[in-house]
Amino acid sequence: MIGKILGTIFGSMFGGIPGAVLGFMVGHFFDKGYRQDFNQKGGFSRFFSTEEALKSQAIFFHCLFSVMGHIAKADGKVSDSEIRMASTLMDQMKLEGEMRVEAQQAFRDGKAASFPLKQTVKDFKESCHGRRDIMQVYLEILIQSAYVDGKLDKAEQVILETVAQYLGFPQRDLLYLLSAFEAELRFRQGGGQQRTGGHSGAYSSQQSLADAYKILGVTTSDDDKSIKKAYRKLMSEHHPDKLVSKGLPKQALEMAKNKAQDIQAAYELIKEKRGFR
């Protein structure tokens, strides 16, 4: 649409009515080519209303579900749990109708031996202008998908390391995200019960506190000021309004909200044990 509008305006400026007609035609072909280019990114483009949203969010979804499919196939076979995980994620993102079909196709595309992992991740990085917080949420969703069967296979970790490298994340940052997610899993399952005086098997209050520190990426030797700083930084990185304004699709916000809740709960536990405000 934007091509036809601009073409008509500039055409009329330099050629009157005939110029406007010619400009409209040229703009039409520009728009057509523009749409086709993004349709090749997974077909999600037609579900967004603006050109910027079309470019970044269509690529986000295609890159997310296709790389998820690639990770699922890393060990040679896509398990039922991995398929259910992809479906559950689509449910959480409220992907329905044609949009869900596109997500399913992207997942299948990622399973192909010829899947262009590097180019796909490069397209995503360019589409979000290298914004680290958006790329980090993307990585966190991939990590969650890789752990769907309760463990991380070596082949899956290699792919995650490759994706992180293409996105510009040092290995130490990926290792922190992996460690933090493992801590979050334990914390969700047992930490809340420990804090309220319940029992959760072998998961002790000491382990719950240790996982809280891992979630924030700090240690027991860090002072209160450092812990507060780490907490504020993580909450800022996962603030829903900020993420949407930077291009994260609203459908992916639920994942960021869950992460923010874990960060908040971990911080509250540490505050309680340390006795600071």
Tell me the per-residue pLDDT of 28-48, one tens digit each, with 9 for 90 and over: 434 444 444 444 444 555 544
pLDDT, one tens digit per residue, over 159-175 is: 999 999 999 999 999 99
Q: In the chain, which ranges are continuous DSSP H helix?
A: 2-39, 51-72, 80-92, 97-110, 117-127, 132-146, 154-167, 171-186, 192-195, 205-216, 224-237, 240-245, 253-274
Single-letter residue type at 232: R
Q: How many whole angstroms separate alpha carbon 181 and alpha carbon 183?
A: 5
pLDDT of residue 16: 52
Please report, for the chain, the start and end positions of each structural domain, with discontinuous segments joined by +.
Answer: 1-40, 51-168, 179-274
Q: What is the mean pLDDT of the chain?
A: 79
Token couple for 222? 């860090």
pLDDT of residue 53: 54
Provide the whole-model pTM.
Answer: 0.73
pLDDT of residue 235: 92
End-to-end CA distance of the chain: 54
